[in-house]
Amino acid sequence: VALHIVCQREREITAFVPITYWSVWTEYAEGFTAFYAGSSEIEPVLDDNDVTDDAAEVNAESTVESKRVLSEAEAARIIQVARNHPHIVCEATGVTAQKSPLPPFITSSLQQAASVRLGLSPEETMKVAQELFEGVDLPQGRKGLITYHRTDSTSLAPEFCAEVKEWLSKHDPDNVPKKTTRHREQANAQSAHEAIRPTYLSITPKTVRDHLSAKQHQLYELIWRRAVASQCANALIQKSRVIIQA
């Protein structure tokens, strides 16, 4: 059976014929981009389950709802029409969707986020995280600032979740969730340790800025903010689709 699947896949690869196509779009001064869709009859697609990951860079070509134009001449014709005719909004639709907060960091997601946001290599991230875990000298004594940083679990201690909820009620009441936010575990997660989080929520990034190196502070702030954000209420996002005819 396995050999049959391999052979079938190989035949599909061999039979594949690459197609050259052109994507056509218009950039408006108002700050948005409209992609050629061929017809105003296309149904809008509004996905309520969009996920944004710190490690992902959005690829415009893979997310646009653009009809493929199969020749350069046709692309040039469409562009000429768009340049010589007024652009009229013929339909606008929108929907409010909920977006769950991202889970607290595990080892891999911390490394990815630190690479994208802070420019740290995975090795540098683990080195700095180890320093934060082992402890730094503060006015109140030597304190370990984060939980163990080698983990694949997104779970958080109930006591910490309650502490975050109390902190939010004082500092950001609009983001207090109705119930404790739980994040789905990976299928093969060992769960020997909880997610990476600050050991003391009261030790905010601002209060320890003068006692940490630049990299330590940046990574601690990243961990602290992500842990708190993971327990916030769902975000409400307005999604809009506008069909413009030229």
Whole-number Å distance between alpha carbons of 197 and 130: 13
Note whether 97 and 239 are within 8 A (CB).
yes
- 28 flagged as catalytic: no
Q: How far apart are CA 206 and CA 146, in angstroms?
A: 15
CA 64 – CA 92 distance, rounded (Å): 17
Please report, as a single letter, which amino acid is at residue 136: V
Q: At what angle do helices 214-229 and 158-171 cross, to 10 degrees?
A: 90
Q: What are phi and psi of 89, to 5 degrees?
A: -75, 115
Q: Which of 21, 28, 36, 148 is catalytic?
A: 148
Q: Which residues are catalytic?
A: 148
